[in-house]
């Protein structure tokens, strides 16, 4: 008797679950069709797949920022031609950073007034952040541009590339 009841309860629960999954799929399908319709209809539509792997480089070019690679950064450190700014959060900087780099988090460039006080607008600055996945270096470069710093270069590979093999 209890076996029959359990079987019946299981069958009912299974039917209920199937109904729920069907309704969820129906809702998601409707939403996806609407999203597709909006995407086709709008004039300012973004592409289906964006080139985010090269987003930082594209932004740097748009901002007329010079991009440098790891070898160039090594040269800058050897020659001391550029001041190096780390645009990542302070905790990341403390966990590890490029040698001789100064911390200037992009979300609060004024957090280290001692760093700002030693900088002059004519100084050559090299900015980096975590790597190709972050745009903190671009954000900081924009903030520094607004304060009349013009000699800026960007290391898009950032800490990930520098600390990697």
Partner 1 sequence: MWMKRTWNHPAVVWLVRLVLAGVFLTAAVPKILHPGDFALSVFRYQLAPYGVVNLTAIFLPVIELCSALALLTIPRLRDAALCVMAGMLSLFTAAMLLNIWRGIDISCGCFSQDASAGPMGRLNVARNVTLLGFCLWGLFQEWSGIFACRFRERGIEKSDSNNERVNSTITGERQ
Contact set with partner 1 (CB under 8 A): 5, 12, 16, 20, 23-24, 26-28, 30-32, 34-35, 38-39, 44-53, 55, 89, 91-92, 105, 107, 130, 133-135, 139
Q: Nearer to partner 1 by C-beta: 21 or 118? A: 21
Could you tell me the end-to-end alpha-carbon distance of the chain, in angstroms, rounded to an integer? 68
d(CA 65, CA 140): 12
Of 138, 140, 132, 115, residue with least CA distance to 52: 132
Give 82 or 88: the residue with its C-beta nearer to partner 1. Answer: 88
Give dist(CA 105, CA 86) in Å, integer.
7
Measured from the CB atom, the residue of 48 and 64 that comes closer to partner 1 is 48
CA distance 22 to 15: 10
Neighbours of 143 (CB within 10 A): 17
Q: In whole angstroms, how close is the CB of 112 to partner 1 at the nearest point?
A: 15
Residue among 28 and 118 whose Cβ is closer to partner 1: 28
Kindly state the tokens that stand for 2.
């209890």
Output helix, strand, coil percentages for the chain, rounded to the nearest 5. 55, 10, 35
For partner 1, give the closer residue by CB, 58 or 120: 58
């Amino acid at each position: 008797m209890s076996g029959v009841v359990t079987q019946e309860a299981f069958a009912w629960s299974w039917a209920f679950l199937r109904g729920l999954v069907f309704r969820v799929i129906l809702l998601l399908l409707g939403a996806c069709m609407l999203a597709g319709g909006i995407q086709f209809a709008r004039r300012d539509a973004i592409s289906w797949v964006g080139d985010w792997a090269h987003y930082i480089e594209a932004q740097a070019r748009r901002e007329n920022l010079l991009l440098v690679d790891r070898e160039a950064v090594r040269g800058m450190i050897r020659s001391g031609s550029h001041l190096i700014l780390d645009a990542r959060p302070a905790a990341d900087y403390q966990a590890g950073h490029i040698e001789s780099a100064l911390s200037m988090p992009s979300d609060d460039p004024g957090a280290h007034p001692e760093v700002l006080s030693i900088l002059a607008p004519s100084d050559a600055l090299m900015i980096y952040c975590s790597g190709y996945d972050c745009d903190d270096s671009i954000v900081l470069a924009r903030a520094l541009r607004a304060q009349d710093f013009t000699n800026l270069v960007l290391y898009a590979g950032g800490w990930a590339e520098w600390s990697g093999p």
